[in-house]
Every structure is written in C-alpha cells, then in structure tokens.
Structure 1
Amino acid sequence: MQPRAFISYSWSSPGHQARIRQWAEQLINDGVDVVLDIWHLKEGDDKYVFMEKMVSDDSVTHVLIFSDSEYAEKADARKAGVGTESQIISREVYSKVQQSKFLPIACEFDDSGEPFLPTFLKSRIWIDFSTLEAANDNWEQLVRVLYGKPAFEKPSLGKAPSYITAEVHAPASPALTKFAALKQAILQGKMGLKLYREDFLRACYEYADALRTRTRPDVVNMGQRIVEDCGKLKLVRDHIVDWVRLESATKPSAEFDETLVSMLEKLLELKSRPPEINSWNDAWFDAHGVFVYETFLYIVAVLLETGSFDSLHLVFTNHYLLPGTESIGADRFRTFDAFYGYSDALQVLAPEGKRLYAPAGELIKRQADRTDVPFAEVMQAELLILMMAFVTDGTRWYPQTLHYSSRSGAFPFFVKAARHRDFQRLAKITGIGSGDELRRAVSAGVARLEVNRWTNFWMSDRTFRGSLNLDALDTLP
C-alpha cells in the first residue's frame, strides 16, 4: 500500500512553515502522498471537518505530528486550531488499537534536552527533526516507517512521482534527500551502497531529463530560455559535484570509477536529441549542451582538488559510448571532447552592441557561485583539459573560460609541477612520464589545433605555454 501522510503542525513562524512545506515536498519526491493544509484546505472549507476527516480517514496511513514548543502549548491548552486538531488526534490515539498511525516528530527541545510534545504523546517514540542536520540524519528512518520497512531491510526503491503539488513555489530537488541517504550510507559503511548511489544519480538524471526540450519552444528569445534552463540545471551540477567530492575524497574505488564513467555517458545522452523527436532545431538542446560542458569542468576541478589522479586518467583516456541519436555509422564512441558545449544564442548575455568570444564561458563564469570550487579552479580544470586535447590525437577543445584568465595566467597545479615529485601527479593523469616528452607532445598538439590562429586570448600567452608552465615542468628535483 502506498503511504499517505497527513501533516499536523503549528504555524509558529514563517520559517517553521517553510520547513514543513519543504519536508512535505521531499516526502512526495520519495513516493509518499502528503496531505497538507496549505495545499488541500481551500477557501470556504470547514477546517475542523477537514482535520477530523484526515485523522480518521482509513486512506491516511500516518499522521505526522511536527511538534515544537508552540504546538505543545496549544495542544495542552486546547487553544486555536492546533488545540482542536490535537483533541481529535488524542481521541483517536487513545481509542484505536493500531496506534502506529500517529508519529511524533520533535522539532524543538527544552533546556533539559527533552522534546516539546503534547502530554498525550510524551510516552510515544519520536523522531528528531530539531535541526536540519538531524532531519537529514533521520530522514531514512522516517521514510522506512512510512513504507513499513524496518531498519534491517533495504528500503523500497522506486521512482518519485512526476506531479507538482504547489503552483507558486518550485518543488524541492528530488535528488536532495537521495544524496543525504547516500552520504550516510558512505560514511556509515552501509550495505547496498550501489543502490543508494544509483537512486541518487537516477534522481539527478530524471530532473535534468524533464527539462529537455521535446516540442517547439513557445518563446520570443531562445537565448533567454537557455539562460533560464541552465540556471535550473545548475542544481544538478551541484548535486553531481557534491557526490564526486564525497566519494573521491573518502574512499575512491573501482566501483566509483565505473559509476563515474557511466554517469558521464548519461550526461552525453542528456545533451543529445531525444530519440522520439523527428523535427527539431539544434538550439533546442543548447541548454543541456552547456550544462554538460560546465558539469564536466567542475568534475575535473574536484578530482584535481581531491588528488584523484587515477580517476582523471580514466576520464581522459576512456572512450565514451554515444547515444543512439548521435552515433554515425560504425562511429559509436568519442573521447572526452564530446563534453564540450557551445551556444551562439547565449550572445544574449553580451553588452549592447557587443559580441562575446565565448558566450558559454560567460554563462559559466556568472554561475560560478560555489565557494568550494571558485571560478579560478574551474579555469585551471579547463587548462588541464586543453593540455589533454593537445596530447590526445583526434581530440579538439576550445577553452572558453580561459578568456577570463589574468595576464599572468599562473595556475597552482601547473606551477607546482615544476618540481619532479609534483610533476608525477601530472604524469599519472597524462600517461607521459617526463617533462621533455610532455613538452614535445603539447607542442605537436598546439600546431595540430592551429592555436596560433585563435584570437583574443592574452597576446603574451597565445599558445598557453606560460599558463601551462610548460618550459619549467619537471625541471626541479
């Protein structure tokens, strides 16, 4: 039976009400049908009849009582709506044999460390939601209770429902709670880690896939539409960055590397034409193309930061299976340059009367709002990608974000690689064991890509030799 939960709470403050709504949306994303007054109680309805029906309705499998100090006070004093509602609930609690329908959730504790609960609930087992950290830690416990799955069993896996319950507020990300569950599974060494990981990545993919254009957009300005869609997709970018950081910094494994490659192939699917589309304009898919480009830059930046050089070598040397709509004849695989993205429609970001040399780079710069991955690290990641394009035959890359690098162009990873021990990190990524060999490979790639013809980079570093610290690599003991 699919769980259906009625939420009882007090309008203690706008902040508390907002948290209740967010938790309700997250429950919906985990497949729980939620009844909440701000969604279901309309003008003209009798609120007391509504409350009594929800508490006694057999289709409501659980009544979630989110109790704070104000809720407990009003319930005990039988004051206002909470007082009436608690009278209805307490009557049901005391009269029904099956009392597990009523679940207290403690949102606040007193000075002695006891939860604020109405008297009729003080003896009942409660779940701690008193802080955002506690809510994240105990979310799986709540979901297991609602599905009737004890803690020693794996939770039921299923797709989140696709309907929208609020017209004004954007729903919470379905992947948010999935990531919280995955994080706890990793840190606590739980069994079935692969299932938690798949559940999280599936939620990311489905969120991004729902934003893919499948019919002719009814917009006046396609560029503005792409900007807006990229803003929505930034949420998925951040989820993926958080996951890569978590797993690569804790206990990277062959399973992580395998999942990373699979996830990257799913990104290629997201930027491609959906197979059911027979008539289209390529600009329809620009938002996802730029999103994939941006996300790839961030993945490389995070793997650099966490010292995951073996994983980076795999990312740059792997051949990625193309989605069916992108395969041409027997050519079913691409190198990492498949993650490159561009959109001329993003010229909408240019100042009036001007044109941008790298419109996608401009958008990525504007969206670089993570303090843990500043834009300088994103540019350094793209410089590494450019180096790999130089040394990988048949691969092309134009570094759009590097239009925003400074004249000095000094990037710490490459500066440090002048020392032999630090160069070994670069050697592990590139597969090239000496500075001299790497210089020859880069020089050949610069000629192959005709970098000298590229314009509007810093004239003193037009071949990126200075930014790469190429002449100094592996020259110090």
Structure 2
Amino acid sequence: MSPRVFISYSWSSPGHQARIRQWAEQMVSDGIDVILDVWDLNEGDDMYAFMERMVVDKSVTHVLVFCDSEYASRADARRAGVGTESQIISREIYSKVQQSKFIPIACEFSEEGEPFLPTFFKSRIFIDFSSPEAANDNWEQLIRVIYGKPAHQKPALGKAPTYLSASASAPASPAVSKFATLKQALIHNKPGIKHYREDFLDACYSFADALRIRTRPEVEITGDKVLEDCGKLKLVRDHVVDWVLFESETDCSNEFSEALIKFLERLLEFKSRPQEVSSWSDSWYEAHRVFVYETFLYIVAALIKTDNFSALHIILTSHYLLPETESHSGELFSKFDTFYGYSETLQVLAPEGKKLHAPAAELIKRQSDRTDLPFATVMEAELLVLMMAFVSDDARWYPQTLHYCSRGAAFPFFLRASRHRDFQKLIQITGFDSADKLREAVKSGHKRLGVERWSNFWLTDRSFWAHMNMEMLDTIK
C-alpha cells in the first residue's frame, strides 16, 4: 500500500507556498499519497477539524511539518492556524509512542545557523530543505523515511563466536624488552650482538609457538577463531618488522642476512603441526599459515624501504631447509614460494552474500595499520615477489594482495627503475644484468605460471607488465 502523508506548513509567503506545492507534486510523482490543504480543504470545511482529523488519522503514515521562522513563532505563540495545528501535533507527539510519524523539515535557518523549529521539535532530528540544493541533496532521505526504507539498516544479530567457549588467552610478549636490549647493543656496538639478536628472535618464536594448538580443541575451529589468532600473531609480525627495519639499515656484513634466513626457516615450522602432535586437522594451523605469508611480505617491504637489496637477493634466491613436518616426497629444501599462504576459512570476512577472491589478502589489508609500511608497500613487495617467481624456473606465486590494486596503480620502486642507477637495484635483487634479459624472463614466467587464466584482477590483460614498469626499465641514463 502506498504511504499517505499530511503536510503541515505556514502560509508565510507566496514563494514558500509555491515551494510546498512543488514538493507535494514531486512526492505524488514518487508514489506518495499527499494530503495538502489547497487540494483537500474545500470551501465551507472546518479547517481545525480537518487538521485534527489528518494528524490523528491512522491511515496517514507521516505528518511532514515544514518549518520556517513564521511557522516556529506561530506554533510557540499558539496563534491561530499553525498555532492550533501545532497544539494538536504536540499533544500527539507527547502522548503517543510512535513519534516517528512526525517529520520536521527545516526550511529556514537563523543567522547563528540554527533551524527555525517549534519548541516541541527542538530535540528531534530534522531534514534540511533550507535551499534548493539542500532539498535536492536530501530528497532521497525524505522519500526513504516515508517508505520505511533507510539507506543504512542494522544487520541481523549473529551468534556468539565459538571461540568464547574455548581458552583464548595469549601469553604476554617478552620480545618488547628483548628488542630494546638488542637496539642498545646495536647502537653502542656491544660485543655479543648475535646473542642479543637470538634472545629477541627466540622470544618472537616462543610467543607465536605458544598459540599453536597441541591438543584437540573442544569446539570446531571457525573463521572467527582463525581471525582472533591472526590478530594475536600480528604482534609478532610487528616485532619482526621493527627488527628488520632497524638492523637492516645498520648491517655492514652478511650476519644480519644469515640471521634472517635462519629465522625464516624457523617461521616455516608454523605452517604445519608441531613435531610432537600425531593427530591433527589442517585448520588448527591456518592462522599461522596466514601469519607466515603476511610476515614474509612485510619483511620484503621493510628491506625495500631500507634499500637492503643484498638481503633481498639472498632471501628471494635462497633454498630453505624445510621442517620435518613440512618435508614431502623426500624434498628437504624449498624456495621462497614456500612462504605463500591461503585461507578459505577467512571467508568470514566477506560481506553477507559475497565471496572474497583472496580472504588472506583481506585480512592483511585490515591489519595494515603501520604508518611506516602502509598496505601499498605490502602490495609493492608482493609485486617484487611475483617478479622473482616469474624469473625463477620452478617457483610459483599467486599475488593475493594485488586483488586490491587498481588498474592505474603505480609502484615507486618499479617506476624509479626507469633510471639506470635505480635499475641497478633490480639487477642486484634478480641477478639479471640487463633490462632486455629481465623482460624476456618475465614474459616466460607469465606463460609458465598460466597468468592468462587468472581472473578477478583489475588488470586489463592480467599480465602485471605495466605495474612492473617493464617497458620503461633502464630507459633513462
């Protein structure tokens, strides 16, 4: 059934009357049955009886009160016409529960910027129609209110997360104090820096390891539980990134790079069960697999930021000793692509009725709260990792975070590589000594990884070629 509204207003001026009639006609064209005095009040009718009947009539879904200075002063003074009508309205407002029937519409503001509203409307939310522009901007809001179709609706109440019934406490992180000690040792070049570093990294490892499940949980591991554990592991991610950012700038030897490789190998242990666990479900360690993937990307981003290209070359070309629980088919080593992680359980992050193309990337984006390494730098890091996957014979990588990359996005590290001196950084990282050789290897990698079959990216040809600035590499001498 169409909504039915009664319009209350003051005959302040011919112009104001014309605007009211124009708005009433526009509402009728939007399917609303409008009751207006100039249309529905005939000669000989009792004006006050008509007003009272319209205000209390149950078939009238809303009373629209168009308020200007004249309306407000007449209503507050209880003067004839508007004053009588407002007495009926105010009695209805204060004696009925459904006060939402009455909608104040501000047609005029004072010099102080306050709307002219009767006293009984002062505390109510109004709709601004004080100018043609305001009326145009807020027209949809008014129509939605009348039809009961607000633009923003409260979602349905969900169920309590299942992890509330399980033990969700996390141990306090001792890594903060360990990192402070390591920083002082590095700043003052104290002897035994290796031991300070090991103490810090051991603390990071122990914190993350304490969150690994070792006994069968009482409840099923759900997306909410994975999400909660990822939030706890983010603390370790930030500890590690703080360390990489600080020490990679002061590293004058390969000691830092070697320490980073050893830590990354330990990080791989989190992708699977602890060695002592003989019965498990892969879902138990899904949060840790995403944590490993996220932390690896942040480490790459941190090394780009600190210009530590030798360390980047090492971590992107090394072979990593796999933990016993991760070795399959007798393979003992793997390349950097072993740090890749995916999570279908994190579809819990998708809006209702939608499905995420890369749930892990959505989590990483939501957790990208570092001002020194914003999400754009994480995408840039993954683009570099993808380039290395293209140019490595047997490495594979699917760039999940680049689902959030727009068509025209530009990445500073690759743009700067147009200059010869900056292209030397890519030479140092990839090992290719010319742009032509690098372009040839990237093209080959596209074909090997079947990039043309990747879908749901903003990229027109899904080649990532333009984002890597391939055509312009080393063109400015």
- Stretch deviating more after TM superposition (242-251 or 423-432): 242-251
1:179 corresponds in structure 2 to 179
Deviation at 1:221, TM superposition (A): 5.4
Tell me the amino acid that sits aligned with residue 387 of structure 2.
M
Tell me the amino acid that sits aligned with residue 379 of structure 2.
M
2:43 corresponds in structure 1 to none
1:449 corresponds in structure 2 to 449
Query: For the Cα contact (< 8 Å) 1:461–1:467, is it kept in 2?
Result: no
Q: Structure 2: how far apart are the matches of 1:320 and 1:226?
A: 26
SS of the equivalent of 1:226 reads: helix
Deviation at 1:220, TM superposition (A): 4.8
Q: Structure 1: how far apart are the matches of 2:439 and 2:322?
A: 32
2:314 corresponds in structure 1 to 314
Tell me the amino acid that sits aligned with residue 435 of structure 2.
G
1:403 corresponds in structure 2 to 403
Tell me the amino acid that sits aligned with residue 199 of structure 1.
D
Q: Structure 2: how far apart are the matches of 1:468 and 1:257?
A: 26
1:333 corresponds in structure 2 to 333
1:468 corresponds in structure 2 to 468
Q: Structure 1: how far apart are the matches of 2:309 and 2:365?
A: 25
Tell me the amino acid that sits aligned with residue 173 of structure 1.
S
1:285 corresponds in structure 2 to 285
Query: For the Cα contact (< 8 Å) 1:283–1:343, is it kept in 2?
Result: no
Query: For the Cα contact (< 8 Å) 2:216–2:280, is it kept in 1?
Result: yes
Q: Structure 2: how far apart are the matches of 1:401 and 1:308?
A: 23
Q: Structure 2: how far apart are the matches of 1:354 and 1:217?
A: 29
Counting aligned pairs with the same residue, the percent is 64
Query: For the Cα contact (< 8 Å) 2:170–2:211, is it kept in 1?
Result: no
2:190 corresponds in structure 1 to 190
Query: For the Cα contact (< 8 Å) 2:406–2:459, is it kept in 1?
Result: no
Query: For the Cα contact (< 8 Å) 1:313–1:428, is it kept in 2?
Result: yes
Deviation at 1:219, TM superposition (A): 3.2
1:385 corresponds to 2:385: yes
Deviation at 1:405, TM superposition (A): 1.0
Please report the RMSD computed on the Cα atoms of aligned residues, expressed in angstroms: 1.5
1:225 corresponds in structure 2 to 225
1:300 corresponds in structure 2 to 300
Q: Deviations over 1:433-473 (max 9, x none)?
A: 11110000000000000001000111425110111111111
Q: Structure 1: how far apart are the matches of 2:169 and 2:334?
A: 40
Instruction: Give me the TM-score of the superposition, normalised by structure 1.
Output: 0.64
Q: Deviations over 1:22-43 (max 9, x none)?
A: xxxxxxxxxxxxxxxxxxxxxx
SS of the equivalent of 2:325 reads: coil
Deviation at 1:309, TM superposition (A): 0.4
Q: Structure 2: how far apart are the matches of 1:392 and 1:340?
A: 15
Map 1:338-349; keep pairs closer than 5 Å: 338-349=338-349
Q: Deviations over 1:155-202 (max 9, x none)?
A: xxxxxxxxxxxx999764210100000000000111111110000000
Q: Structure 1: how far apart are the matches of 2:189 and 2:301?
A: 26
1:75 corresponds in structure 2 to none
- CA distance change for structure 1 residues 171 and 330 in 2, over 3 Å: closer, same or farther? closer
Q: Structure 1: how far apart are the matches of 2:318 and 2:189?
A: 29
Q: Structure 2: how far apart are the matches of 1:334 and 1:251?
A: 26
1:440 corresponds to 2:440: yes
Q: Structure 2: how far apart are the matches of 1:218 and 1:329?
A: 33
Map 1:151-162; keep pairs closer than 5 Å: none
Q: Structure 1: how far apart are the matches of 2:456 and 2:260?
A: 35
SS of the equivalent of 1:202 reads: helix
2:266 corresponds in structure 1 to 266
Q: Structure 2: how far apart are the matches of 1:170 and 1:421?
A: 47
Query: For the Cα contact (< 8 Å) 1:451–1:463, is it kept in 2?
Result: yes
Map 1:348-359; keep pairs closer than 5 Å: 348-359=348-359
Unaligned runs of 5+ residues in structure 2 are 1-166
Q: Structure 2: how far apart are the matches of 1:169 and 1:464?
A: 42
Q: Structure 1: how far apart are the matches of 2:171 and 2:333?
A: 37
Unaligned runs of 5+ residues in structure 1 are 1-166
Deviation at 1:432, TM superposition (A): 0.4
- Stretch deviating more after TM superposition (358-367 or 187-196): 187-196
